[in-house]
Amino acid sequence: MNKFNYASIDIGSNSINLLLAHVQDGEIISEETKSYITSLGEELSETGEFSKAGKDRAEKALGEIKTLIDSEKIYSSNVICVATEASRVASNSDVFFQFIKKKFDIETQIISAKEEARFTAKGAMPANSDESLLMDLGGASTEIIHFRDNEIKSFHSFKIGAVNIDPLFSWSKVEDFVKGIAYSERIVLVGGTAATVGASYLRQGFFNSLPINVLELSLQEFFRFHEKISTLGDEELLKEYPLMESRINSIRGGVKRILEILAKISPEIISFSTKGVRHGALFNLIENIETAE
């Protein structure tokens, strides 16, 4: 008997994330997640397009994902694949995803920044949440979302990520957005870099979502963590935090970006969610299927 009947794929600038889920009566009963570091958006800010090396790595990852989906005998109607900021920017993303569709029969939706924010909040925030900020740092962009009373009050997508920074990016835009929200009690960090930080802070030898999702840090504790990893060379870093291996080329930059943004917000509590766009996209797919029925 197959374990999973749904799949959700999130194609980002630095990684491709897969969620396999067993859904029953509209609820996720069990799940398994996998992350593939592809650096699809490498050199994007310089060239404006996906590189051949990035496309080759993404193609390989999607081939492995297709094999997993087929092995679980998941219907194509129960698979959703979304792509975010890097794919919105790359001039050759449409051609690349047409190739992926033809080769693997995976239909990719390039979602807007607004839809990305909606999926992030839908995936990361429990239904009974009152108010929080969410920050989803990706490879090419960072979304900050103000969530209150079970809905998004405001959001902004900033073109700064763990890997790429838009030449026109301005910190004043972050400051203005934060001032407009006037909320800094809690911020929830979402995304692969954030999950890696949470797991490493807890000294995990393998990813265990439950402890990460209840971890709370102060800004000072986060700052000290950044200071520590900044002083370690690659060998020392991996010896102390082995889960950073797959992100060794981006983790320091990613943590630095997170800290720079946190400094503009000065949150009282920093917490983490291992769920995000791929979970929100899956919830949306389930709802659409139920509505159609």
Q: How far apart are CA 275 and CA 33, in angstroms?
A: 10
268-281 per-position pLDDT tens digit: 999 999 999 999 99
1 inside domain: no
Q: How far apart are CA 260 and CA 254, in angstroms?
A: 10
Of residues 143, 80, 148, 87, the one with CA closest to residue 114: 143
Q: What is the pLDDT of residue 80?
A: 98
Q: How many residues does the chain have?
A: 293
Domain hosting residue 25, numbered range: 6-111+278-292
222-265 per-position pLDDT tens digit: 999 999 999 999 999 999 999 999 899 889 999 999 999 999 99
Predicted TM-score of the model (pTM): 0.87
Q: How far apart are CA 171 and CA 158, in angstroms?
A: 9
208 inside domain: yes
Of residues 194, 188, 187, the one with CA closest to residue 247: 194
Residues 19 and 101 in one domain: yes
Q: How far apart are CA 256 and CA 162, in angstroms?
A: 8
Q: How far apart are CA 135 and CA 265, in angstroms?
A: 11
Q: What is the CATH number of the domain that holds 253?
A: 3.30.420.150
Residues 249 and 153 in one domain: yes
Task: Report how many domains make up the chain.
Answer: 2
141 inside domain: yes
Q: What percent of the chain has pLDDT over 70?
A: 98
Residues 105 and 156 in one domain: no
Q: Taking a C-beta distance cutoff of 8 angstroms, is the pair 12, 141 a contact? A: no
Residues 98 and 142 in one domain: no
Q: Phi/psi of residue 30, each to 5°? A: -150, 160
Q: What is the CATH number of the domain that holds 32?
A: 3.30.420.40
Q: How many of the other CB atoms lie within 10 Å of CB of 260?
A: 14
Residues 89 and 212 in one domain: no
Residues 250 and 288 in one domain: no
Q: Is the pLDDT of residue 87 over 90?
A: yes
Q: Is the pLDDT of residue 127 over 90?
A: no
Cβ neighbours for 178, distance < 8 A, ≥ 6 positions apart: 144, 184, 264, 265
265 inside domain: yes
Mean pLDDT, all residues of the chain: 93
